[in-house]
Amino acid sequence: MQTLFSPDSKLMQSLSRLFDLAVLNCVFLLTCIPVITIGAASAAMYTVCFRMGTEAEAGVVKPYFRAFRDNFRQGTILWLISLAFFAVGLFDFFLFYQREGMTRYLYLPVAILLVLGVLAFGYLFPLVSRFENRVWGTVKNALLMSVAYLPRSIAIAVLNLLPLGLLLFNTYLFVRLGFLWLFCYYGCAAYLNTRLLEKVFAPFLNQTE
């Protein structure tokens, strides 16, 4: 029992990591309240998650707010671009879908663009957290990587969209799982995403270095 509950045991290390992710989740949600800050908050959350388990790990709260400040401008711009893209895309999708005749089928290319947007969105803020680049360079790299690593991109998209999907299609279950969203889901999802993205980013990080 002493070995099981020692600070160096796998159980205690796992519980410690889960606690860190719970703290990260709460800080992330608090900084998302103004809505316009969601981009900067996402980039900061990924910055902390990428450092977990490495020599650069230095806690949660202070590194989070430092990254939030450093990535605020680019994260906010990318978030607003994303909002505009999905707002226009969804509007066009339902507009064409409800029409009659051949123009109705214009919803298909719009749907394809929306899917590509969802896949690329999963890379935007991780890229901001790991690389210095211009806004449109980040958008281009996110799109290219999301297509090049499609299986990982789909897994990331599923993790990102799960809360929204439950909210839209099973509101009762979403509410029942409210404690999950409030205390750990977003931090855990970001942590899993960083594990999926480590191999994707590794060659480019080596080039940067």
pTM: 0.91
pLDDT at 4: 56
Pick the range with the lowest mean pLDDT from 33-42, 48-57, 74-83, 130-139.
48-57
Orientation of helix 72-97 relative to helix 61-70, angle to 10°: 70
Predicted confidence (pLDDT) per residue in 146-158, tens digit = 999 999 999 999 9
Cα dist. 195→28, 51, 146, 155, 181 in Å? 19, 11, 15, 11, 20
Structure confidence at residue 5 as a pLDDT band (50, 70, 90): low
Which residues are CB-neighbours of 23 under 8 A, at least 6 positions away? 60, 61, 187
pLDDT at 208: 53
Whole-angstrom distance, CA of residue 121 vs CA of residue 160: 9
Please, what is the average pLDDT of the chain?
92
Give the mean pLDDT of 114-123. Answer: 97
168 burial via Cβ count (<10 Å: 0-12, 13-18, 19+): exposed
Within 10 Å of residue 68's Cβ, how many Cβ atoms?
22
Q: Is the pLDDT of residue 2 over 80?
A: no
